[in-house]
């Protein structure tokens, strides 16, 4: 016995499965026919930059600190500070390099902010060390430079601006930048890098701490393109195969399922409509199960024969609606017998 499914659903499922099967086949073919060689980005050499800012705070004569200078990382009383001696050291290492060259400079920027939202109201830039070039052969280069920072001079400039502009800033600070630009010549191509170390000193305060990016280690890589064999992605192929098998199984199931031909459904509908139109006033429709066992009743050849029996025994024609709301069995019941007329799928509308 075949499973039954509506014809429109059967067609829709077949189309959907067919589309999935075609897409799966296309993916499998694409995976099998992709180029044998592909390009991938790989690191070809590595390098590293190291930048350090060391400093010592030299003091004026005072009764508080017996030692002089003070080491980094402390809180410094502004009135006791004479100057900060800074030492900047930089190292660039690239073993594959034949020549390393570059330049560096040192720039100080003073900035003041005011108002509720700390808007920057003025800025002043000072060049402490103009751009200075360097060059070395081989895979490494190092440089070192020291420069003193007199905090008292910068605080004096802040007071002068505040007096001339009649402006009291919320915050004023000195930021010193050590900027380095470097280029290395290698067999794999040039390497160009930049690094900036900073020291931040608050101004206009009774005491301060030094902050900023004082120590940096900045590794890097130079990449290149190489050609490598492109293997077939087995997961994709296996997945496509499983999907294809599933689609074929669904198509086989759809083939096994049967659908009621439209012509037969139309024949049943026409027969029921004809009976209802001609004898509707003589039909008694019941709900639920049949109250009698009609399976062993006397079967009539046509509805007209059943109507004649109903006339002879003066009984109504009884019918019950099917699942499709159409009566497919009509019967007449008397004291002794049950007379039946059943509509068959292959019956002609006039039968």
pLDDT-based confidence at residue 302 (cuts at 50, 70, 90) = confident
- Cα separation of 153 and 108, whole Å? 13
Residue 55: other Cβ atoms inside 10 A: 22
Complete DSSP assignment for 212-230: S--EEEEEEEEEEEEEEE-
Residues 6+ positions from 313 with CB-CB distance below 8 Å: 332, 334
pLDDT for res 3: 59
Is the Cβ–Cβ distance between 43 and 221 less than 8 Å? yes
- Cα separation of 4 and 2, whole Å? 6
Closest C-alpha among 309, 351, 305 to residue 332? 309
- Cα 325–308–280 angle (5° rounding)? 30
Q: What is the mean pLDDT of the chain?
A: 83
pLDDT for res 203: 95
**Burial state string for 99-114 with b = 16 or more CB within 10 A and e = fewer than 16:** ebebebbbbbebbbbb
- Which residue in this structure is represented by tokens 């492109």? 230
Residues 6+ positions from 190 with CB-CB distance below 8 Å: 183, 184
Closest C-alpha among 26, 40, 24, 20 to residue 231? 40
Model confidence at 35: pLDDT above 80? no
Position with higher pLDDT, 110 vs 313: 110
Mean pLDDT, rounded, for 25-33: 67
Q: What is the DSSP letter of 4?
A: B
- Which residue in this structure is represented by tokens 């060390």? 129
- Which residue in this structure is represented by tokens 């003070």? 70
Q: 311: which 2 tokens?
A: 């006339």
- Cα separation of 349 and 276, whole Å? 12
pLDDT digits (tens, 9 = 90+) for 163-197: 999 988 889 999 999 999 999 998 888 999 999 99
């Amino acid at each position: 016995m075949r499973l039954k499914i509506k014809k429109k659903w059967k067609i829709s499922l077949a189309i959907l499965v067919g589309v999935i099967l075609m897409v799966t086949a296309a993916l499998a073919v694409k995976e099998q026919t992709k180029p044998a060689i592909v390009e991938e980005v790989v690191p070809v050499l590595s390098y590293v930059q190291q930048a350090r800012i060391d400093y010592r705070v030299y003091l004026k004569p005072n009764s508080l600190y017996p030692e002089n200078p003070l080491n980094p990382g402390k809180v410094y009383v502004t009135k006791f500070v004479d100057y900060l001696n800074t030492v900047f050291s930089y190292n660039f290492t690239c073993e594959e390099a034949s020549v390393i060259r570059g330049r560096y400079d040192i720039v100080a920027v003073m900035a003041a902010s005011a108002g509720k939202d700390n808007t920057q109201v003025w800025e002043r830039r000072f060049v402490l060390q103009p751009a200075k070039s360097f060059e070395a052969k081989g895979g490494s280069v190092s440089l070192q430079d020291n420069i003193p920072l007199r905090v008292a001079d910068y605080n004096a400039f802040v007071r002068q601006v505040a007096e001339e502009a009649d402006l009291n800033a919320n915050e004023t600070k000195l930021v010193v930048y050590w900027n380095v630009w470097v280029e290395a010549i290698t067999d794999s191509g040039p390497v160009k890098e930049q690094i900036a170390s900073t020291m931040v000193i608050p101004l206009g305060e009774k005491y301060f701490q030094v902050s900023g990016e004082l120590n940096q280690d900045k590794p890097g890589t130079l990449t290149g393109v190489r050609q490598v064999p492109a293997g077939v992605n087995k997961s994709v192929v296996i997945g496509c195969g499983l999907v294809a098998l599933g689609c074929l199984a669904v198509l086989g199931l759809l083939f096994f399922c049967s659908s009621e031909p439209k012509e037969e459904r139309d024949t049943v509908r026409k027969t029921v409509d004809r009976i209802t139109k001609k004898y509707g006033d003589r039909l008694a429709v019941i709900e639920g199960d049949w109250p009698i066992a009609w399976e062993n009743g006397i079967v009539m050849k046509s509805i007209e024969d059943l109507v004649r029996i109903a006339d002879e025994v003066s009984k109504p024609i009884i019918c019950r609606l099917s699942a499709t709301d159409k009566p497919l069995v009509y019967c007449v019941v008397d004291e002794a017998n049950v007379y039946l007329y059943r509509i068959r799928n292959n019956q002609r509308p006039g039968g």
